[in-house]
Amino acid sequence: MDDFERELTRMMRDSRQPAPFGPGHRARLYQGIRVRRRSRVLWRAGGSALAVAGLSVGLALLPGTGSRSLPADRPPLPATSPTPPPRSPGPTSAPSPSLPPTGTAGTTYPGTTYPGTTAPEYDGTPTFPPSDTPDASMPATTAPPPPVSTEPPVAPPSTEPDRSPSMTAGG
């Protein structure tokens, strides 16, 4: 260390001024700490929100999730429909075993329609299984509706009197 360096050292140390750490400095320092802490919290919150948003977008765009997992050509399952009304055996048709209700559009499986009855057109509402109850819109029924009368009808031998078609048709 030469003379100049010694002089430089002396100049640097002698130029030091006493500067006490006053209350103003302390207040300013802690205000800076509060501001920095607030900004750090905001940065973390923003980062977390961005991470959540990125994950959501990533999961939404991933193939094989959500509704895209179903193959398009899979036949629709039979939809459940409200409980069908009690079936009254027709006068001419024999009571058949309980059939599953069909209520989907355009899905008429063989075996669910009775011979002699036409499959109803789909009108947007769930359809019940084709009833053997006589109806005016079903001209192809094999038997005409029995006349409505107050007299107790003569029940056919195979049907019960209280579940006769006349009660259903006459209201």
Binding site for another protein (CB under 8 A): 3-21, 25-26, 28-29, 32-33, 36-37, 40
For the chain, give the number of residues: 171
Give the residue with the Cβ less far from another protein, 26 or 68: 26
Q: How many angstroms separate the Cα of 128 from the Cα of each of 16, 95, 100, 104, 118? A: 100, 16, 9, 10, 13
Nearer to another protein, 12 or 70 (CB): 12
> Cβ atoms within 10 A of the Cβ of 141, count?
21
CB 167 within 8 A of CB 89: no
Q: Closest distance between another protein and the C-beta of residue 33, in Å?
A: 5
Closest to another protein by CB, 32 or 47? 32
Rounded least distance, CB 34 to another protein, Å: 10
CB of 46 to another protein, least distance (A): 18
d(CA 134, CA 128) in angstroms, rounded, equals: 14
- Burial of 17-38, coded b for 16+ CB within 10 Å and e otherwise, reads eeeeeeeeeeeeeeeeeeeeee
In the bound complex, what is the minimum distance in angstroms from residue 62's beta carbon to another protein? 38
Q: Which is nearer to another protein, 30 or 109 (CB)?
A: 30
